[in-house]
Amino acid sequence: MGEESGQGVEIMKEESFNDKIVNPPPPPPPPAAVAPPHFVLIHGIGGGAWCWYKIKCLMENCGYKVSCLDLKGCGMDHTDPNTILSFHDYNKPLLDFLSSLHDNEQVINYLTLFTHTHVCVILVGHSAGGLSLSDAIHKFGKKKIKLAVFIAGTMLRSGFVTDQDIKDGVPDLSGFGELNEVFDIGFGLGQDHPPTTLMVKKELQRKIIYQLCPQEDSTLAAMLLRPGPIQALTTAQFKDTEDKDKVPRIYIKTMQDNVIKPEQQEAMIKKWPPSDVYILESDHSPFFSAPFLLFGLLVKAAVSFGC
């Protein structure tokens, strides 16, 4: 009996060992992978998604996800800019786009459970596109936005509230001539009402906006620029929220800028200090004049904040 009992123990041990080979315990879940950041690029007044064609190409060739939006009345959007009188209406394409995205927390939880990835949305705004970023920061905060990057941007915490805000954030092109000498002005509500649209005259665009850009890019811009809904932009004001300082911000200063001059950029930086400031020796349009340097700074910003 002792021998039979001993053989039984040996058989049980052998079966248990075989079970472990045939049915090994499940491996531990892999660590969450980091998906490439999703850059959302916002143009300035009169521009459009087309402004970013060089940056989009560089980013996508390196594996980043990129969305370039046309705000209302801009780019390929067919709305007459003279009819856009509120900033909310103008910025609605960006707000709708962000609303369509899952919240960061929900996406991270869902994807961590099933695909072991997480998403990082980086908003990038050029010139007046900075107002669009501020609006989005107030409305969505970190639920949607990991990082906001202002490129020669109008970076005002609450929009145009004071005379100083206007001085800091509105381009002063008086050095190039009187208002009607510099701009084509639209009066969609009639001559006895404030202007509804502005656009720098074609013959001055290269001198003011694109002085360091390749000739072919300034020619392209002259063909595609549209009058900007100035009344909507200059009335931009944002309700103060707790989220305004939760989203980290980076400011890229353009040191040879004729539109938002370096001293204006510096004033806005001091009033609402960002997490970091990068310096770029470019004109107002570095996506044309310094695309490789700008691309490098955007990647640096993403890496610096864990994207």
Cβ neighbours for 132, distance < 8 A, ≥ 6 positions apart:
42, 71, 91, 94, 125
Rounded-to-integer distance, Cα 40 and Cα 34, Å: 18
Instruction: Name the active-site residue from 43, 70, 118, 127.
Output: 127
Question: What pLDDT is attached to residue 106?
Answer: 45
Determine whether 100 is an active site residue. no
Residue type at 95?
L
In this predicted model, what pLDDT tens digit does every residue of 159-211 receive, in sequence order? 999 999 999 999 999 999 999 999 999 999 999 999 999 999 999 999 999 99
In this predicted model, what pLDDT tens digit does every residue of 248-276 receive, in sequence order? 999 999 999 999 999 999 999 999 999 99
Count CA within 13 A, CB hemisphere, residue 144.
22
Residue segments in the chain with a per-residue pLDDT below the cut of 70: 1-34, 103-119
Instruction: Name the active-site residue from 138, 282, 284, 289.
Output: 284
Strand 38-42 vs strand 65-69: parallel, antiparallel, or unpaired? parallel
- The CA-atom distances, in angstroms, between 128 and each of 82, 120, 226, 249 are 17, 24, 14, 16
Determine whether 118 is an active site residue. no
Instruction: Name the active-site residue from 70, 135, 257, 283.
Output: 257
Determine whether 284 is an active site residue. yes
Question: What pLDDT is attached to residue 11?
Answer: 46
3-state helix, strand, coil split of the chain in percent (to 5) is 45, 15, 35
Residue type at 94?
L
Question: What pLDDT is attached to residue 75?
Answer: 97
R_g of the chain computed on alpha carbons: 26
Residues 38, 65 contacting (CB under 8 angstroms): yes
Residues 292, 27 contacting (CB under 8 angstroms): no
